Amino acid sequence: MITGYGLLIVFAISILILLVSIIKFKLNPFIALLLTSILTGFLVRMPIGDISSTISSGFGNTLGSIGIVIGLGIVFGNVLSESKATQSIANGLLSKTGNKNAAIAVTTAGFLISIPVYMDAAFVIMMPIVKYIADKTKKSLMIFICALGVGTIVGHAMVIPTPGPLSVAANMNADVGAFIFYSILCAFPAILVGGWLYGKRFNKAEAFKMDKSEAEVAATATESDENMPSFGLSMFTLLFPICIILLSNVIKAVLPADSMIVSVASFLGDKNIALLIGSVVAFALLHSYFEKSFSEVVIEAADSAGLILLITGAGGAFGSVINASGIGDFLVATMSDLSIPAVVLGFVLSALLRVSQGSTTVALVTTSSILGPAIAATSASPVLVGLAICAGGVGLSLPNDSGFWVLSRFGGISVKDTLNSWTIGGTLAGFSAFAVVLILNVLNSVIGLPGL
């Protein structure tokens, strides 16, 4: 097999092949990742019999680690969406902030809703409400599109149980509870900088005025509905599985490891168990608000999960080939020789993949698959390197990103305005989250932070 700097050349060629196949030839990322994995195996002169077994084991190990929780996460999100709990959360936050701070409420609501519900769906759900708020406050729609877009992409890229950050935590072998806690710590400054402060640049833009059809849709989305769960119930349901995981980590940190309570907490705080409990509790509390049967909600979730699971598994397969070839270890060793910290490497590689091929999930899964095994042998915190990878996947959205067009089309804004709001705002958010990661990394090296 190839060794030395030849591995970096192969790595660069592999990434180029992946990008060209997705961007130029419009291949689905699942097929593109598998083909690139095979070609990479041949390029590093891996024994031909080992290529297929390495791909299979990488695919299986990845899905074995996170396949169940991805499926449960999508079921959980569908329950919240079908019961209109997501809409209730948005309405509740907006009612508490008033017109003056409406943009903060919008970006916070977008962030929270996109944790269980995919970014695209969260944006579509919120858009009628955002238009209503822009019309009511007599402000530019761009203020709120920026706030909503940034809030949704940060939640999508950084907080479990969204598949991207979930894959990162699994591939980095990071503690899930610590990952959730520090991801939220990094995310809130990001949404405030990119979604709220940056959005102020549009204060002098032309005020938005809804037409009759938009007003009718917005009125339906914002009216008090007897068939909508309360804000308190909706928030409780959303945060319940996250709180189980965080509480489990607190118990494990303060009680003896051989305690029965710690054993129970470890079981309940497992990501699969916590999200299963969360899904069951969500159904129990919210099923009376369904317009569909629970079976239909689960079937819809299964339809949505299929391609996500395939892409995630294929990303793990590609990472497995990369690491079996020695590329991952050599890449980290080379960066160490150049005194480039692992957190910086994670952010840069993830950002490069994000800007070049568009998909945040692909960038996160691929980067963490490559760096995870290699980082484990270093003194770097897997949680912080993982969060740096997530931060790298937040911004730099260009027209090769499907989310770019969702925001442009549903927001009814031009490509130029989409770049000015979503792309720049998201990029500022990504760098802000990364800045917090760097601060945490310094503090961890000086005083040691819990969970890191």
Mean pLDDT by runs of 10 across the 452 residues of the chain is 80 82 80 90 89 90 78 81 79 73 86 78 74 79 89 90 86 89 93 92 75 55 67 87 82 82 88 87 88 80 77 80 78 70 89 79 86 80 94 83 75 82 92 95 88 80
pLDDT digit string (tens) for 181-236? 999 999 999 999 999 999 888 888 776 665 655 555 555 555 555 578 888 898 89
Determine contact, residues 315/30, Cβ cutoff 8 Å.
Answer: no
Kindly report the backbone phi and psi dihedral angles of residue 342, in degrees, each rounded to the nearest multiple of 5, phi listed first. -60, -35
Q: 130's torsion region: left (phi>0), alpha (psi -120 to 50) or beta?
A: alpha
Tell me what pLDDT residue 204 has.
80
Determine contact, residues 204/442, Cβ cutoff 8 Å.
Answer: no
Token pair 């961890």 in the structure block, residue:
444
* Residues 304, 55, 392: CA angle, nearest 5 degrees: 60
Determine contact, residues 63/312, Cβ cutoff 8 Å.
Answer: yes
Tell me what pLDDT residue 442 has.
92
Determine contact, residues 319/368, Cβ cutoff 8 Å.
Answer: yes
What letter does residue 114 receive in the DSSP assignment?
A: T
Considering only CA atoms, which of 11, 6, 3, 24 is closest in space to residue 357? 24
Determine contact, residues 175/250, Cβ cutoff 8 Å.
Answer: no
Buried b (16+ CB within 10 A) or exposed e, 26-50: ebebbebbbbbbbbbbebbebeeee
Residue 354 CA to its chain's centroid (Å): 12
Peptide bond preceding 373 in cis form (omega within 30 of 0): no
**Count of Cβ atoms closer than 10 Å to residue 60 Cβ:** 15
Using CA atoms, how far apart are residues 309 and 117, in angstroms rounded to an integer? 16
Radius of gyration of the chain (CA): 22
pLDDT digit string (tens) for 41-71? 999 888 888 899 999 988 888 788 778 877 8
pTM over 0.75: yes
Determine contact, residues 133/209, Cβ cutoff 8 Å.
Answer: no
Q: What is the mean pLDDT of the chain?
A: 83
Considering only CA atoms, which of 327, 445, 335 is closest in space to residue 379? 445
Question: Secondary structure of the chain: what % helix, strand, coil (to 5)?
Answer: 80, 0, 20
Residue 320 CA to its chain's centroid (Å): 22
Tell me what pLDDT residue 432 has.
96
* 64-305-80-397 Cα dihedral, nearest 10 degrees: 100
